[in-house]
Structure 1
């Protein structure tokens, strides 16, 4: 990570972590058992994953991945088990403690922002919570996902041969049948999250929604 990229990315990541902590501060304990948008994970699991991610260094990630026999899902499951405390309150307290960490696996700085926003929505949407995200945060995350292969946690293939036009930012990417939607809806879709077709318009919307399949939990 270059110091310049980090200087831009980390304040945004920290802002998103802080906002999610605030949203969860008043959640009832039973709400933490709500299924998230991540297959097989509830809200508590996703928060534990965010804690684990905030603590993960580049070398630590490589050691862990080797121990998991290079299976991302196995590594993620181990991280959740390690960081999921006995109570939601304890897990949230640990998330608050690591809020300003700048540790990261070996990946572009924008991946931390993608994670903060997409996992934030993995939690917020099932709980009926909405956030008015700074649009520049979401646009940066979407632009990164459109340049990154699905195999690396991105969404490049899901947008292939389509033109994605954000209705609330200046993102206008790709060529082909047009798909219009909010920057957040487009980000969630290319990140493999279930998004209703009604969130999109344009001649390419139906084809776009057909491509939206669950993605590995990264």
Structure 2
């Protein structure tokens, strides 16, 4: 088993263990993904790697190839299967190394880590992301191009033009210009188009970056 494959497996199992601790109210909590609940995000992360291509294409056709809309509606449908089936499938994915068709393996790690934040941040139940996980996730997040940027509020590099983003708790930075400091958790949210509070950013470039971030 390669290092990346093992990181994906480990992060999926960590998330599955965490999901098993959630109460019904926590499963119903709004996530960082717009109108998605925690349960919708968990279902999307779990079933997207194994859904038949025809089902996903059918969703795209039904919603006029509006990727985010189709993804949201299909994920809500999957969520109806309930927490137990979501968790079991996540464990199955971890064992099988399942990933969505047509994407690089690293994308499965990014999805797991970022969607875990979509779940954990609103619940106030963060964990320390291992450095060996954080670095490749951050590097890939800042490098992605269209069409993968559709779901993350456009290219992160464009939002970071003229700025240097620094993760305070990791040996990681990107860009040149006015510096912006943030925690690693906030950095990953910035790179993946999630809303952040102005108070989570410090440094001379903080106002500029905050103005460029999606607000919900």
The reply on whether 1:41 has 2:36 as its aligned counterpart is yes
Q: How does 1:1-218 map to 2 (within 5 A)?
A: 7-56=2-51, 63-64=57-58, 67-68=61-62, 69-100=64-95, 101-149=97-145, 152-153=148-149, 154-213=155-214
Deviation at 1:115, TM superposition (A): 1.1
Deviations 1:149-174 (A, max 9, x none): 47522522221221112222222221
Q: Distance in 1 between matches of 2:14 and 2:77?
A: 24
SS for the counterpart of 1:98 is helix
Note if contact 2:43-2:79 (Cα within 8 Å) is conserved in structure 1: yes
**Aligned residue-pair number:** 209
Separation of aligned partners in 2, 1:205 and 1:81: 35
CA distance in 1, matches of 2:57, 2:81: 26
Aligned to 1:142, the other structure's residue is in SS state: helix
- Aligned residues of 1:149 and 1:157 also touching (Cα < 8 A): no
Query: How does the TM-score come out when normalised to structure 1?
Result: 0.83
2:94 aligned counterpart, secondary structure? coil
Structure 1: 4+ residue segments shifted above 6 A: none
Q: Which runs of 5+ in 1 are unaligned?
A: 1-5
2:59/2:74 contact within 8 Å kept: no
Mapped contact 1:84–1:91 kept (Cα < 8 A): yes
Root-mean-square deviation (Å): 2.5
What secondary structure is seen at the aligned counterpart in 1 of 2:65?
coil
User: Given that residues 99 and 105 in structure 2 are in contact (C-alpha distance below 8 angstroms), is that contact kept between their aligned partners in structure 1?
Assistant: no
Deviation at 1:198, TM superposition (A): 2.4
Which sits farther off after the overlay, 99-108 or 13-22? Answer: 99-108
Residues in 2 aligned to 1:92 and 1:99: alpha-carbon distance in whole angstroms: 11
Question: Normalized against structure 2, the TM-score is what?
Answer: 0.84
